[in-house]
Chains A and B, each alone.
Chain A
Amino acid sequence: MPVQEADVIPLPTARTDAPPQPTRKLASVTELRPRRAPQSLTDFVRSRLTGDYQVDEFGFDPQLTDTVVLPPLRMIYEKWFRVEVTGEKNLPLDGGALIVANHSGTLPWDAVMTSIAVHDNHPRGKHLRMLGAELVFKVPVLGALARRTGQTLACGADAQRLLRSGELVGVWPEGFKGVGKSFSERYQLQRFGRGGFVATAAKAGVPIIPCSIVGAEEIYPKIADIKPLAKLLGLPYFPVTPFFPLLGPLGAIPLPTKWRIDFGAPIRTDLASPDTADDHGFVLEMAAEVRETIQRTLDSMVAERESVFRG
């Protein structure tokens, strides 16, 4: 079988116990620089067919993400939701940060759009590395796709590892309670878990960036939840909207609301003493502070907005 050897060139005089020197440094974590250079389609297909590409230890595949996954989503970002980004200067140029946002919309379109907002507005094109529930990684295809695009399990160990290596990590502390909230609860933040995100940021000594998303809460106005059906399918909820399941798959098309994503001023966690991460009082207090900040920002953003669809 012919073997593609673009990545590794064996040294002609190499001893059997010495590895060939890779021509490219193997990155353990995502490269900071975005791969802006457009790759020809044949090169892309060849590298996929010969396995000549790199993934990091979380399974993140920047080549696939940038070439195949992001472009169609960017169309939705620009044309459908017309996302407007403010406060992008609050994203740190170097070093890790924990981006904490409100969650809504029945399907996590907000997470997808935020990851494009971060990637396209960061001066170095850093990818947002999101933390997802275990359920995501149990589901065939979805779990594999989530890993390929840089997502990992919401657990302390993974979050620490990403933050310490200087990544921007995204977290939605409202979890399923947030994404599955009903239309009547729009822009009302749910409980922020047990504040695990604060402990994680404090341990890694990185700032928390409050992120407020307006527009996502109206894309699927959830008016009811068929709980027995959700239980049967093993889902956290089974949504009923004015169009779903009435119109079938058509009902799954999100309403074209006008979005705004705001990145707030970083909240430092490294000023307190190092063992504050274990101080439950501090953790809950800070979680409440972040929650308050996002709620306040959301309230003013919603008040400024003239129309749900035109912004």
Chain B
Amino acid sequence: MAPTVVLVTGVADQLGGQLAAQLADDPDIERVLGVDTARLAVPRGTRVEFVRADIRDPRIAKVIDSARVDTVVHAAPRSGAGAKELNVIGTMQLLAACQRSRTVRKLVVKSTAEVYGGGAGAPAVFTEQDADQAVQRRGGDAAEIEGYALGLARRRPDLVLTIVRLAEVIGPHIDNALTRYFSLPFVPTVLGFDARVQFVHITDALAVLERAITHDLPGVFNVGGDGVLMLSQAIRRAGRVPLPVPRATIGPATRLAGGRVALSPGQSRLLSHGRVIDTTRLKTTFGFTPKWTTTAAFDDFVRAVAK
């Protein structure tokens, strides 16, 4: 069933804002509601109806009911330090509203590969099933959010639930902790370690979310570009110099190197052990092959920074 009224959370972020704008271009969708506390990333002049609301507030249920929303896209969860309350409380409140609603029949959750945790004892490449073990160990906010969504799907079996686990999102104008990290003049890395990193280009991430909204594709899907870059290699490609420091000092060193780089525990773990996800299920079951490889996506970001 095609969606008629879509509600997108987290539209102040680039991904959420661009997704809402992209949905508004689809003539089959009657209304697109964009929810956030600020309108930063919602392009003006689109059909997106901006709703200034905090998803941590129970009044979000009224928004869903009055607009007769049938598809909820939870794009609000953020990586990065200090987002815990928004991520966890916001998700609980939003999902509670979905559960009570009579009109919502589909939920799409933007998650991240951080659910897999990672470390010296983890497999080199994670498939979707690997999160079952990782949820208990260091999956972070994302693991909690997915847990709530799966709980809702159990209580409301009529609901179509798609969870999309994104690799690190990158692209020409992406501004997040990781892109700021790669823009530092000297980039602190963990001494004695070199991580494997995988990126997904924002256009691929958007295309996957859009496909999950317009098609009924229940399940959990990893989304990442093909191929892998080593962290030191990525830093070199960005024209920067890696600066290895002891693991305990990576946080202070990043701040000293100049910048508003607040890495989350999940991202710090990424920098020492890396994380690669298997996208076979995305390509076969979901029916989408990312157009950008990890390297091409990263180079696209580098080109935009160099300009």
**Which residues of A line the B interface, CB within 8 A?**
1-5, 7-8, 10, 16-20, 22, 26, 28, 48-59, 61, 134, 137-141, 143-144, 147-148, 152-153, 155, 157-158, 161
Q: Are B192 and A144 in contact (CB under 8 A)?
A: yes
Q: In whole angstroms, how far apart are the Cα atoms of A153 and B196 in the complex?
A: 14
User: Does the CB pair A26–B120 fall under 8 Å?
Assistant: no
In the complex, what residues of B have CB within 8 A of residue A139's CB? 192
Q: Contact between A55 and B239 (Cβ–Cβ < 8 Å)? A: no
Q: CB distance A144 to B193 under 8 Å?
A: yes
Q: Is B296 an interface residue (CB 8 A)?
A: yes
A157 touches B230 (CB 8 A): no
Residues of A with C-beta under 8 A to B239? 1-3
Question: Taking CB as reference atom, which chain B residue is nearest A1?
Answer: B239
**Contact for B296 among A20, A51, A52, A55, CB less than 8 A:** A20
B124 located at the interface, meaning its Cβ lies under 8 Å from any Cβ of chain A in the complex: yes
A254 to B235, CA, bound (A): 38
Q: Which B residues, 240 to 277, have Cβ-Cβ distances below 8 Å to chain A?
A: 240, 274, 276
Query: If the complex has contacts A1-B306, A143-B120, A157-B125, are A8 and B296 also in contact, measured as CB distance less than 8 A?
Result: yes
* B111 contacts the other chain (CB 8 A): no
| B214 interface hit (Cβ, 8 Å) | no
Say whether A57 contacts B125, CB under 8 Å.
yes
Q: List 10 A-B contacts (CB under 8 A).
A: A3-B303, A7-B295, A16-B172, A28-B227, A57-B124, A59-B124, A147-B194, A152-B124, A153-B123, A158-B124
Complex A-B, nearest 4 residue pairs according to Cβ-Cβ distance, in ascending order: A140-B192, A51-B236, A1-B239, A51-B237
With A3-B302, A22-B296, A58-B124 given, is the CB distance from A17 to B236 under 8 Å? Answer: no
Asked whether A17 lies within 8 Å of B203 as measured between CB atoms, the reply is: yes
Closest to A48 in B: B236
Contact check, A51 vs B235: say whether CB atoms are below 8 A apart: yes
Give the docked Cα–Cα distance between A28 and B276 (Å): 12
Assess A19 versus B293: contact at CB under 8 Å? Given A1-B239, A153-B123: yes
User: A96–B193 Cα gap in the complex (Å)?
Assistant: 29
- With a cutoff of 8 Å between Cβ atoms, the chain B residues found around residue A161 in the complex are 124-125
User: A17-B203, A157-B127 given as contacts; is B230 within 8 A of A138 (CB)?
Assistant: no
Are the CB atoms of B226 and A148 closer together than 8 Å?
no
- Neighbour of B191 across the interface among A19, A48, A140, A158, CB < 8 A: A140
With a cutoff of 8 Å between Cβ atoms, the chain A residues found around residue B228 in the complex are 55-57, 59
Secondary structure at the A interface, as helix, strand, loop or mixed, is loop
Instruction: Identify which of residues 66-100 in chain B touch chain A, using a CB-to-CB cut-off of 8 Å.
Output: none
Q: How far is the CB of B126 from chain A (nearest CB, A)?
A: 9
Question: Does B49 make an interface contact (CB < 8 A)?
Answer: no
| B123 and A157 contacting across the interface, CB-CB below 8 Å | yes
B42-62 residues with Cβ-Cβ distance < 8 A to A are none
Counting CB contacts under 8 A, is B291 at the interface?
yes
Q: Are A49 and B236 in contact (CB under 8 A)?
A: yes
A7 to B291, CA, bound (A): 17
B219-237, CB < 8 A from A: 226-230, 232-237
Cα distance, A5 to B296, chains bound together (Å): 11
A157 to B237, CA, bound (A): 30
Are B201 and A50 interface neighbours, CB within 8 A? no
Q: Which residues of B contact A17 (CB under 8 A)?
A: 203, 291
**Contacts known (A19-B201, A147-B196); A138 close to B295, Cβ less than 8 A:** no
- Interface assignment of B122: CB less than 8 Å from any CB of chain A: yes
Chain A residues closer than 8 Å to B213, beta-carbon distance:
none
Nearest CB in chain A: distance from B128 CB, A: 12
In the assembled complex, the CB of A48 is this many whole angstroms from the nearest CB of chain B, namely 8
CB-CB under 8 A for A22 and B196, given A57-B227, A138-B120: no
B123 x A158 contact (CB < 8 A): yes
Flag if A153 contacts B124 (CB, 8 Å).
yes
Q: A59-B274, A141-B192, A147-B194 are in contact. Are A153 and B230 (CB under 8 A)?
A: no
- Determine if B293 and A22 form an interchain contact, defined as CB atoms under 8 angstroms apart: yes
Chain B residue at minimal CB-CB distance from A141: B192
Task: Considering the complex, give the chain A residue whose CB is closest to the CB of B125.
Answer: A57
Which of B123, B125, B226, B239 has the most chain A CB within a 10 Å cutoff? Answer: B123
**Closest CB in chain B relative to A109 CB, distance in Å:** 22
Query: Does A19 lie within 8 Å of B292, measured CB to CB?
Result: yes
| B122 and A153 contacting across the interface, CB-CB below 8 Å | yes
B276 close to A8 (CB less than 8 A): no
Bound together, the chains give a CA A157 to CA B280 distance in angstroms of 14
Which A residues are in CB contact (< 8 Å) with B305? 1
* B296 and A19 contacting across the interface, CB-CB below 8 Å: yes
Note all chain A residues with C-beta closer than 8 A to B238. 1, 3, 51
Whether A18 contacts B291 by the Cβ 8 Å rule is yes
Q: Which residues of B contact A147 (CB under 8 A)?
A: 194, 196
